Amino acid sequence: MRLTRHGKRRAVKGLLVGGISLLAFFLVFAAPAEKHLSVYSTAANYSVPVVQRQGHDYVGLLELLDPLGTVSAKAEASRWRIHYNHILGDFTAGKNHARVQGRDADLTGKFLIENGRGLVPLSSLNSLLPRFLGGPATLHPESARLLIGSVGTHFTASVAPDDASRLVLHFTAPVNPTIATEPGKLRMTFSRDPLIAPASPTLTFDSKAIPSATFSENNGAAEVTVSTTIPLLASFSPDGRTITLAPTKTQAAAAATTSPAATPPQTTPAAQSTPVNSPATVTRRYFAVIDASHGGSDRGEALSNTLAEKDVTVAFARRLRQELENRGISTLVLRDSDANISLDDRAYFANTTHAAVYIALHAASNGHGVRLYTALLPYTGQEDRGPFHAWTTAQQLAIPLSQATANSVAAELTKQQVRVRVLTSPLRPLNNVTAAAIAVEVAPPAMDLSQLGSADYQQLIAGAVANGIVAIRAQLGAAP
């Protein structure tokens, strides 16, 4: 086909337009994704862009504070001022320090001003934001996640007591992850939930079907990856706080048909005439029972205007369970939700599980460190006879073990430089428990009551208590 000069002109124009369009296509799709900082707070969950300057990550301070309160900023030459809820911040371009409410605040890099926009180093947020917010701010730099205040969602994971092919995850707040499966793995991605890492990033389970799970953070999200040898389906509780991973019906049926229990018995006369007593379920025995005090309408001590004892104890209980199970000690938490449980019921559940040790958890605003209690029994002048025990003095025979347990835990707390006292008290339900029994009352390390809800402080105490139980495990008796 022959092209005229006009036709050639149109063809060249078409090539240029097509080339430009193709170049734009590759530029758009080849460009790296814009990095964002995910922010979680009680006021709002949102994200702000992260920019690279001088080889470091920076964020705009005005954009970061804007969803949290009343904020305004003004740039004058090399000086930049910001007002947040009547807090004044004074920054100077090129300086690695600032003034907030008249006090020096160190930055981890130079402050920058771009088109009137004030940029602070991402790594400075841990120390800078509390000056404006009046509370903690925790930056997770590896995943670009920022948690403001005590908004973190904690979780525990354990196989179901009656079925090792089912994994049950309990969360302290409703969650809504996206779930994806691939051969040998089920992946839960929490991009909208401030999920916090457990004590160990790798959790192991006594299950051939679900041997382990790992926690990781990346690109503004947290992820829990479950290793599995069979396909699993996820189901959510109505309140969004529990996720159960269980085999598909096909896998469950296949497991049932290949189970040794499904092999038909020999049809001898004796087998036909002899009844077989097989209980439908077997009650699992735990080595340790953890009891988070209070709950439901019983808030316990009002530790602050926003912090109730019942909330601290249940969070601490979950953390302690994880610490004990990471050390190979099977553990049951009596109260893993906001429920009312009577003192008699707490002792009854502890006694019927035949646990080796019972640990009650309390929190207090007065004093510092940890107080450990063992039972102070009333004098009755009577001795227990036979298999029955008087309810008010059921702890009698276990007192030596209880005291040894308290001393072992106290020794581990002392190693961590935690102030600790060992006391006796008629503190129910210690008197009613037949196993070794102690109460752990946690007070803040200093005058800062917010430390009671601090993940680091709870982790320190939980780890020491778990080490104390491990140290005396042989004396308490091996778990069945």
Q: Indicate whether 167 and 226 sit together in one domain.
A: yes
Nearest to 376 by CA among 440, 466, 290, 439: 439
Q: Indicate whether 85 and 214 sit together in one domain.
A: no
Please say whether the beta carbons of 453 and 259 come within 8 A: no
Domain final position from 113, 148, 183:
148
Please say whether the beta carbons of 449 and 363 come within 8 A: no
The residue type found at 26 is: F
What is the pLDDT, as a whole number, of residue 380? 52
What is the pLDDT, as a whole number, of residue 285? 61
The residues, any chain, with a CB within 8 Å of residue 69's CB and separated by 6 or more, are: 43, 84, 85
* Domain contains 136: yes
Distance CA 475, CA 409 (A): 14
Distance CA 187, CA 199 (A): 20
Q: Indicate whether 190 and 106 sit together in one domain.
A: no
Torsions phi, psi for 218 (to 5 deg): -165, 140
Distance CA 334, CA 345 (A): 10
Low-confidence stretches of the chain (pLDDT < 70) are 1-33, 199, 249-285, 378-389, 478-480
> Interior CA angle at 60 toward 58 and 64, to 5°?
115
Helix 455-471 and helix 309-326: axis angle, to 10°? Answer: 50
* Domain contains 54: yes
* Domain contains 267: no
Q: Indicate whether 99 and 196 sit together in one domain.
A: no
Cα distances from 95 to residues 75, 78, 125, 131, in angstroms, run 15, 10, 16, 18
* Domain contains 281: no
Nearest to 177 by CA among 165, 166, 186: 186
Q: What is the pTM for the complete model shown?
A: 0.49
Domain count across the chain: 3
* Domain contains 352: yes
Q: Indicate whether 308 and 196 sit together in one domain.
A: no
Q: Indicate whether 318 and 355 sit together in one domain.
A: yes
Q: Which domain holds residue 227?
A: 155-249
* Domain contains 304: yes
Please say whether the beta carbons of 357 and 405 come within 8 A: yes
Q: Which residue matches tokens 């862009």?
A: 49
Q: Indicate whether 403 and 318 sit together in one domain.
A: yes
Please say whether the beta carbons of 37 and 59 come within 8 A: yes
Q: Which own/partner pairs from 298-302 qualify as long-range (CB within 8 Å, at least 24 positions apart)? A: 298/340, 300/362, 300/363, 301/363, 301/364, 301/365
Q: Indicate whether 79 and 143 sit together in one domain.
A: yes
CATH number, domain with residue 203: 2.60.40.3470
What is the pLDDT, as a whole number, of residue 251? 52
* Domain contains 242: yes
